[in-house]
């Protein structure tokens, strides 16, 4: 089942966006989303269309071999949504990041694995400036091998897992959480699949 008219893919632009120049969500999208993620950017793979596999609580974009991905949900992406990114770390440069953005264009949560220092960094970009970095030395990613990263959220934190290992817990700095409506994946690594899934908050019991 595809998202049909709810999906609006755009062209690949390549490279990483400067946080200061990240565009705000397009006006009028909220009337079409109705609480489900809306694809904004997932370029075609080798000339074929990248179609979303959609359900009420799961949106998956397989074969997204692009270097950028972006989705928007007027109902908010925190708490309760989980973003799963799978790909191949074929670049030695630290050019992979995930950004959860607010309606105002602030980055409510920025997470970036740094292969150069084998660390995972979390931060926010609000009011035109970066906040205090939070750094984790738990780094299960291996350059040149497939990788999997998942970012999820509950009412108090973002949780980051890599290769099924928890690498970072980041307390929310941006309120209200319902204003976090957009997610971006910016990468110089190949992306194989991006998936957004709605989780019941009780799913976090047990410290997943």
Predicted confidence (pLDDT) per residue in 128-180, tens digit: 999 999 999 999 999 889 999 999 999 999 999 999 999 999 999 999 999 99
DSSP H helices in the chain: 30-33
CA 165 to chain CA centroid, nearest Å? 18
Please give the pLDDT value at position 122: 98
Percent of the chain with pLDDT over 70: 62
* Strands 81-88 and 96-102, bridge-based pairing: unpaired
Q: How many residues does the chain have?
A: 208
Q: Does pLDDT of 83 surpass 70?
A: yes
Angstrom distance (rounded) from CA 54 to CA 37:
9
Domain residue ranges of the chain, discontinuous segments joined by + = 37-43+51-200
CA dihedral 152, 155, 157, 160 (to 10 degrees): -10
Distance of alpha carbon 75 from alpha carbon 182, whole angstroms? 10
Q: 151: Cβ–Cβ under 8 A, 6 or more apart, which residues?
A: 82, 83, 98, 100, 109, 111, 158, 159, 160, 161
Q: How far apart, in whole angstroms, are the C-alpha atoms of residue 58 and residue 203? A: 15
pTM above threshold 0.85? no
Residue range 37-43+51-200 in CATH 2.60.120.200: yes
Token pair for 36:
């489900």
> Looking at residue 67, what is its pLDDT?
54
Query: What are the tokens at 57?
Result: 């609580």
C-alpha 53/C-alpha 197 separation (Å) is 11
Alpha-carbon distance values, 147 to 62, 77, 85, 161, 190 (Å): 15, 23, 8, 11, 10
Query: For residue range 94-118, what is the model confidence (pLDDT) as tens digits?
Result: 778 999 999 998 999 999 999 889 9
Q: Rounded to whole angstroms, how far apart are CA atoms 3 and 20?
A: 30
Question: What value does the mean pLDDT of the chain take?
Answer: 72
């Amino acid at each position: 089942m595809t998202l049909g008219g709810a999906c609006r893919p755009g062209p690949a632009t390549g490279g990483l966006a400067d946080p200061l120049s990240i565009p705000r969500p397009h006006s009028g999208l909220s009337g079409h989303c109705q609480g489900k993620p809306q694809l904004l950017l997932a370029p075609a793979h080798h000339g074929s269309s990248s179609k979303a596999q959609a359900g009420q609580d799961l949106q998956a974009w397989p074969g997204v071999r692009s270097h950028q991905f972006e989705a928007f949900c007027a109902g908010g992406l925190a708490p309760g949504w989980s973003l799963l990114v799978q790909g191949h770390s074929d670049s030695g440069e630290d050019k992979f990041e995930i950004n959860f953005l607010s309606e105002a264009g602030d980055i409510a949560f920025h997470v970036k694995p740094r292969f150069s220092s084998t660390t995972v960094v979390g931060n926010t970009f609000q009011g035109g400036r970066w906040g205090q970095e939070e750094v984790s030395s738990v780094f299960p990613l291996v350059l040149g091998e497939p990788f999997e990263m998942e970012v999820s959220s509950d009412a108090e934190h973002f949780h980051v897992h890599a290769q099924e290992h928890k690498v970072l817990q980041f307390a929310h700095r941006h309120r209200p959480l319902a204003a976090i409506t957009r997610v971006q994946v910016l990468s110089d690594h190949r992306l194989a699949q991006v998936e957004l899934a709605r989780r019941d908050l009780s799913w976090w019991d047990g410290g997943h």
